[in-house]
Amino acid sequence: MSILANKDTRVVIQGGAAGVNAARRMAEFCYLIKRPLNVEAFVYPPDAGKTNEVPYGSGLIAIPIYKTIAEATKNHPTINTSLVYIGADRAMKGGMEALDDAHIKVVSMITEGVPEKDAKLLGAHARKLGKVFNGPSSIGIISAGACRLGVIGGAFDNLVLSKLYREGSFGVITKSGGLSNEIIWICSQFADGITTAIGIGGDAYPGTDYVSYLEMFENDSQTKAVVVVGEMGGDLEERAAEWYGAKKRRVKLIGVVSGFCQESLPKGMKFGHAGAKEGMKGEGSARSKSDALKKSGAIVPATFGALGPAIKDTYQELLKSGQVKEPVEPAVLPRLPKSIEEAMKADEVMVAPLIRTTISDDRGDEPCYDGYPASELINKGYEIPHVIGLLWDKRLISKQDAEIIKRIMMLSADHGPCVSGAYGTILAACAGIGLSQSVAAGLIMIGPRFGGAVTDAGRFFKHAVDNKMTVDEFLTYMKKNHGPVPGIGHRVKSLRNPDKRVKELVGYVKSLSIKTPCLDFALQVEQVTAAKKDNLILNVDGTMAAVLVDIGFPVDSLNGFFILSRTIGLIGHWVDQKRQDSRLIRLFDYLVNYAAPKRREVPPLK
């Protein structure tokens, strides 16, 4: 048996992330004791209508989230307990809502920093209704082998080490969350473990005091002794002593109190718990509490360290008198499934990767490009073209090659609003479409007729050079197998109206002392084609392609240079239209040649 929390306890958790974390811990305990999850619902208005996923064993359980306690208990009428994880400024409202629901008998508040007055009002309201209000600042309540409310008990390993999977004979009441776990552990090592452990919270006026819980333990036949861990401040320990001394009690009481150091410290010093404060006239001191407990007949070890042996002595007496029997440990206990990460760390599983990458790694404190940390590249003077070299061709290019790439990008960053790409982006921008979609609208124009000839131009020029073709052989080959030569020809530019960009790039590259077989070949081709027709000149795509092949970039990456460069311009056009708040573009009908059939009658449907 146990008190407050048992196998019939069904829970609603009020609150967000902290509540979900508690539910996970509670699910671990339910899994350990082989019982279904005791959390039925969450109440958290911002996420109402959704669900929280709680791992149970190797599966996931979806727990519904409601807006109000009433909705939760209407849909889950077995709920009888609420855990409050709401912020201090709204905790009282939430606690009251739970107390006022007829289904709910126990409310435990985990929230810290709740105003004293609010805690008192909640405690008084619960007493009026004959319900239990535990906390605020409670770590939770746990009944061994039966029910866990909150994170009390700690990690899964600790639940096992502290033998919380089966009940013992000791009740525990503490103000401190950390110490509750410590005492549970001590009870499992020096005795047969606990029945129920309750964190009442370290505030000055906890909703329920030691005496109420001592009464419950007294009426729980499984509990043979109760360990109370007190601290200076308030009068809860004195009241517990008074209760214990008032008449012969069935349970043994073991008590320790902290705060003796107070006697040798500056007055009024503030300790970790809000309630740990000595009264004006010495009442509430560790000594007065400790003396009161001793006088009542309780076992009071001199120090915390002596608590283990005291619990052991008590247990041995209980064994001798036949009140308890040595517990039988289960042969096999469930083990908490490991996450993939944990199992991999322990070399227990092998996972076939879903994708493979050979260019970059994000797992450290910064990205590495082909193994080189980004910050080191920056600090050693490398620039964007080098990053392109690393990510597109996995090599650190030379300063000279980087300069060529930089110039290519500068020359092809934009070409005014009329070309297909920019016009596509502008059209989308004027329709109120966002940046990434509008830029994408421009980018999808890049293809065989606009900007997308770089890769093909590079491929064919390279094919000719690799196969030592003459210009004539090449033109014949192209005509027979592929059609017009990519990279040759321009819609508006011609021999008499040359493309300045081509002239600039060719001039720069030729001024360097590098071998440019592809560029040279492309220029020879131009001489032949332009002689046939004025506008069959080497265009910017073809020039870029030839130069990039000459400095060693793989053919498949070539269109990337145009796409990357032109993205600069497309972003500019979108921002420009946005800033002007341009209106929607619609074609005028006089710009359309309506070549569709004239209006006519629709025949009857057959």
Partner 1 sequence: MAKVLEGPGMGLMKKWGIHVPQYAVVTSADELSKLGHVNDWMKQSKLVAKAHEALGSRFKLGLVKVGLDLTGAVAATKEMIGRQVGSITVSQVIVSEMIAHKEEYYCAVKSTREGSEILVANCGGIEVESNWDRVKRLCLDVGQAPSHEALEKLAKEAGFTGSLAKKMADFAGKMFSCFDSEDAQYLEVNPVVTRESDGELVALDAVTLLDGDAKFRHPDWNFQFAAEFGRSYSKDEMEVMAVDSKIKGSVKFIEIPGGDTAMLPAGGGASVYYSDAVVARGGKLANYAEYSGDPPDWAVEVLTEKVCSLPGIKNIIVGGAIANFTDVKKTFGGIINGFRKAKGDGKLKGVKIWVRRGGPREKEGLDAMRALKDEGFDINVFDRNTPLTDIVDKALHK
Binding site for partner 1 (CB under 8 A): 21, 25, 88-89, 112-118, 120-121, 123-124, 139-140, 151-155, 158, 161, 174-182, 185-186, 202, 204-205, 209, 229, 231-232, 234-235, 258-261, 263-274, 276-277, 286, 302-305, 308
Tokens of 143: 């009944």
Q: How far apart are CA 154 and CA 151, in angstroms?
A: 6
Backbone angles phi, psi at 127, to 5 degrees: -60, -40
Tokens of 425: 């982006």
Q: How far apart are CA 596 and CA 275, in angstroms?
A: 87
Among 312, 149, 318, 302, which residue's Cα sits nearest to residue 221? 318
* Annotated catalytic residue within 273, 386, 490, 573: 273
**What is the dihedral sign for C-alpha 288, 108, 304, 278?**
negative
Q: How far apart are CA 392 and CA 398, in angstroms?
A: 15
| Long-range own/partner contacts, residues 401-404 (CB < 8 A, 24 or more apart) | 401/551, 401/552, 404/508, 404/509, 404/512, 404/547, 404/551
Task: Say which residue the tokens 């359980």 belong to.
Answer: 61
Among 120, 187, 167, 247, which residue's Cα sits nearest to residue 5? 167
Cα–Cα distances (Å) from 199 to 9, 164, 172, 174, in that order, read 17, 16, 8, 5
Tokens of 270: 């503030």
Q: How far is the CB of 205 from partner 1 (least distance, A)?
A: 5
Backbone angles phi, psi at 118, to 5 degrees: -65, -45
C-beta separation of 241 from 270 below 8 A: no
Cα–Cα distances (Å) from 237 to 115, 287, 316, 374, 548, in that order, read 22, 11, 26, 61, 84
**Residue spans of alpha helices (H) in 100-234:** 116-129, 156-161, 177-190, 210-218
**Does the annotation count 273 as an active-site position?**
yes
Buried b (16+ CB within 10 A) or exposed e, 157-185: eebbebbbbbbbbbbbbbbbbebbbbbbb
The amino acid sitting at 393 is: D
Among 214, 230, 340, 225, which residue's Cα sits nearest to residue 287? 230
Select 24 or 463, whichever has its Cβ closest to partner 1: 24
C-beta separation of 284 from 235 below 8 A: yes
Q: How far is the CB of 552 from partner 1 (least distance, A)?
A: 47
Taking residue 129's Cβ as centre, other Cβ atoms within 10 Å add up to: 14
Q: How far apart are CA 159 and CA 162, in angstroms?
A: 5
Under DSSP, is residue 40 helix (H, G, I), strand (E, B) or coil?
A: strand
Cα–Cα distances (Å) from 124 to 79, 127, 128, 224, 532, in that order, read 22, 5, 6, 30, 101
Taking residue 58's Cβ as centre, other Cβ atoms within 10 Å add up to: 10
Length of the chain: 606
Under DSSP, is residue 64 helix (H, G, I), strand (E, B) or coil?
A: strand
User: Which residues are catalytically annotated?
Assistant: 273
